[in-house]
Chains A and B, each alone.
Chain A
Amino acid sequence: MVRMQDLVFRYREGGFELRVESLRVGRGERVAVVGPSGSGKTTLLHLAAGIVVPQHGRVETNATELSALDDGRRRDFRARHVGYVFQSFELLGYLDVLDNILLPFRVNPTLSLDAAARERAVSLARRVGIADKLPRRPGQLSQGEQQRAAVCRALVARPGLILADEPTGNLDAKNKQRVMEILHEQALAEGASLVVVTHDLDLLQDFERVVDFQELVGSQESVS
C-alpha cells in the first residue's frame, strides 16, 4: 500500500519540482501510471520506494512513513518490502542469473539467504521460463529473458510493493506481454501492490486503475 499526501519534492540541483496532493494505492491493487517523458513518473516511484524523500508532505508505504526514516532504515525497508523492476534490467554482468535473482539477499543483512530463498529463486525462474538459464550470465540471455530475470529479482524477497519503471520499454511485443503477465500473476499470487510506469497504452487494460500523471500533478487528483 502507498499513500502520498501534500507532497513536494525537488532535486537539490533544482529545475524540477514535483507536487502531489494525494495519491493512494491500496493493498494488492495494480495501478498503471501514464504520462509524458520527463514529467516525474520515475521520481514518483523513487518517492514510493524511499529512494528519495520529499521536502514536504508524507509518503507512507506498507504502513511505514518513509520520510521519517533515515537512509539506512529506508534501504532496509526497500530490501524487505519493495521490489523494483527497471526498464534496462540492471542485471549485474559478472553474476550468473541465479546470483542476480538472489542479489537483494547478498546486499542487505536484514534478508537471510537461506535454502528457502534459493528455492524461491529457482521456483520463480521456473515460473517465468528461465530455469535452464540460471547458470548463465545476463549477456548470454535474450532481452526478454533478462527482463524476466530482473522481475524474479524484484519478487524474490516477497515484497508487499512492486514498482516497475517502464519494464517493457526494451522488449518486443511477445516479451512485453509475457513480462506483464508475470508481474500481474505474481502481484496477485503474493497479494502485493503493483505500480507500473508505462508509455504503452496497450498494456493498460489489465490494470485495476490507471493514473494519468499529468492530472495527478496538475489537478492534484488521482484518476480512475
Chain B
Amino acid sequence: MRGPLYLGWCYLRRHPAKTATLVASIAIVLFLPVGLNVLVGEVSGRLMARAEATPLLVGARASALELVLSSLYFDAAEPEATRWSQLLRVRESELAEPIPLYVRFRVRDQPVVGTTLDYLDFRGLRVAEGRPFAVLGEALLGAAAARRLEVGVGDAVISSPESVFDLAGVYPLKMQVVGVLAPSHGPDDDAVFVDVKTAWVIAGLGHGHQDLARPEAQAAVLRRDGRHVTANASVVQYNQITADNIDSFHFHGEPEALPLTAVIAVPRDEKAGVLLRGRYESPDEPVQIARPREVMRELLATVAAIESWVLAAIGAVAVATLATAALVFSLSMRLRRREVRTLTMIGASRASVFVLLASEVIFVAIFAAGVAGALTLAVRRYAAAAIQAWLLG
C-alpha cells in the first residue's frame, strides 16, 4: 500500500476500537437485508424444488400444509393418517402410480420413512454402499443419517420409542442396515428408509413371536380351540427381525386399513393428473389430494410478506445506523483539521488529503462489505439448511 492510502490504513490501525465498531455496525446493516434475502431465497428454493418434484399427494382431509411438510420434508409433526386402501384406490384408477409413505417413527432424530423401492426411483436416489432394503427389518440410510448415527452397512439401528413411559405403546425395533444412499442434498439424506411393512411392525400392527406349535412353547399355551390358540404373557415376542424369525411375522386386521401418512401419486400425464384430482373434489370425500407446489407457494407467499415487513424495519435501522456512522466520520474529519493543515503546509496535494480522509470511510466500507459478504456466504452455505431443519424439525 502506498501514499495516503497507507496513511489511512495506519490511522485505522491506531484506532482499532472505533474501526471495529464502525465495521461491525455497517457490516450488520449491509448483511441483514442481503443475508435475509439470501436466506429466504435459499430456503424457498430448497423447499420449492422438492415441492415441484412431487406432483400429487393423497392424504387425510386435514391440513394440506401438514400433509406436505410431513410427506416431503419428513417434518416431525404427524398429520392425521390415511389408509392403505387409498393407495389401492389410486392404483385402481390407472391414472397414476402410487407410492406409499408412512412417516411416524424416528431413529434418534432421523425420521423412519416407510415406503417401497419405487420411492428410490421416483426421487432418483442412488445406493452408494450396500443394497436397498428387500425384506422386513432391513433399513437403507440416507447419507447424513448414516453419518449422524455413526453406522454403516452391517450395523443395526433401533427405532426410538414414542414415549418412554408408555408401556403399552410402540416398542423399539432393531433393524439391520443393508445400504447407505449417496448424498442427494435434500431431506432424503436424513431419513432411514424401510419397507412400509417394517414401519407397521414398529407401530405394533404386525409382530412376530414364538411358534406356539413348537414343543418349547407349550408351557405358554393356555387353551387350544380349533385354529385359535390362547397363550400367556410368557410367549417370546421378537424385537428384531432375523432370517430365523421372519416367517413368524404377521399382521392382524384388514390390510386395507393399515395406516399411511400419504400416498404420492405420480400421474401418467397431465390429463391423468387433472382427472385424478377431480375424483377427490367432492366435499364428502374423506381424503384430499394436494398439489405440493401450490401448498408451498402459499406458504412462501406468506413468508415473503413477512420478509418485506422485516426488510422495511431493517431499512429504518440501517438509515439510523448509517446516519450515526456519517456523524462519526464527520466528527473524525473535524478532529483531523489540524492534521490537514499540517499536511497542506508541508505540500500535500489536495487529492492526497482527500484520499487520506476518504480512506477511513473507504477501508471501513471495504471491511464491512467483506464481513457482510462472508456472513452472507456462511448463511448461504450453512444457515439455509439449519433453518430448514429447524422449521421442519
Task: Give A contacts to B, CB under 8 Å.
Answer: 46, 49, 51, 71-72, 75-80, 82, 84, 86, 90, 92-95, 99, 103-104, 106-109, 113, 153-154
Q: Assess A107 versus B10: contact at CB under 8 Å? Given A92-B339, A94-B15, A113-B2.
A: no
* Neighbouring B residues of A103 by C-beta, 8 Å: 7, 343, 346
Q: When chains A and B are docked, how far (Å) is the Cα of A163 from the Cα of B349?
A: 19
CB-based contact B352/A109 at 8 Å: yes
Q: Assess A106 versus B342: contact at CB under 8 Å? Given A72-B349, A75-B348, A79-B348.
A: no
Q: Assess A86 versus B10: contact at CB under 8 Å? Given A72-B350, A75-B347, A78-B347.
A: no
Supply 23 A–B pairs (Cβ within 8 Å), ascending by A.
A75-B347, A75-B350, A79-B346, A79-B347, A80-B347, A82-B347, A84-B346, A94-B11, A94-B14, A95-B7, A99-B10, A103-B7, A106-B3, A106-B6, A106-B7, A106-B352, A107-B7, A107-B346, A107-B348, A108-B348, A109-B352, A113-B2, A153-B346
Contacting residue for A75 out of B4, B338, B349, B356, CB 8 A: B349
Number of interface residues of B (CB under 8 A): 25
Closest 9 CB pairs of A and B: A79-B347, A94-B14, A78-B347, A107-B348, A90-B342, A107-B352, A94-B11, A108-B347, A75-B347
Q: When chains A and B are docked, how far (Å) is the Cα of A200 from the Cα of B349?
A: 34
Interface SS majority for chain B: helix
- A-B contacts at CB below 8 angstroms, number: 76
B353 at the interface (CB under 8 A from A): yes
The minimal Cβ–Cβ distance linking B343 to chain A, given in whole angstroms, is 5
Residues facing A in B197-256 (CB within 8 A) are none
CB-based contact B346/A78 at 8 Å: yes
* Neighbouring A residues of B6 by C-beta, 8 Å: 106
Q: Assess A77 versus B347: contact at CB under 8 Å? Given A90-B342, A108-B352.
A: yes
B305 at the interface (CB under 8 A from A): no
B344 at the interface (CB under 8 A from A): yes
Contacting residue for B347 out of A93, A99, A104, CB 8 A: A104
* Neighbouring A residues of B11 by C-beta, 8 Å: 94
Q: When chains A and B are docked, how far (Å) is the Cα of A131 from the Cα of B13?
A: 24
Q: When chains A and B are docked, how far (Å) is the Cα of A86 from the Cα of B338?
A: 12
* Nearest opposing residue in chain B for A78, CB measure: B347
* Nearest opposing residue in chain B for A79, CB measure: B347
User: Which of A49, A92, A154 has most B Cβ within 10 Å?
Assistant: A92
Q: When chains A and B are docked, how far (Å) is the Cα of A79 from the Cα of B349?
A: 9
* Nearest opposing residue in chain B for A103, CB measure: B346
Contacting residue for B10 out of A49, A82, A95, CB 8 A: A95
* Neighbouring B residues of A77 by C-beta, 8 Å: 347
B167 at the interface (CB under 8 A from A): no
B345 at the interface (CB under 8 A from A): yes
Q: Assess A107 versus B14: contact at CB under 8 Å? Given A51-B345, A78-B347, A84-B345.
A: no
The minimal Cβ–Cβ distance linking B348 to chain A, given in whole angstroms, is 4
* Nearest opposing residue in chain A for B347, CB measure: A79
The minimal Cβ–Cβ distance linking A163 to chain B, given in whole angstroms, is 9
* Nearest opposing residue in chain A for B348, CB measure: A107
Q: When chains A and B are docked, how far (Å) is the Cα of A206 from the Cα of B6?
A: 40
* Neighbouring B residues of A49 by C-beta, 8 Å: 345
CB-based contact B15/A107 at 8 Å: no
Q: When chains A and B are docked, how far (Å) is the Cα of A153 from the Cα of B347?
A: 12
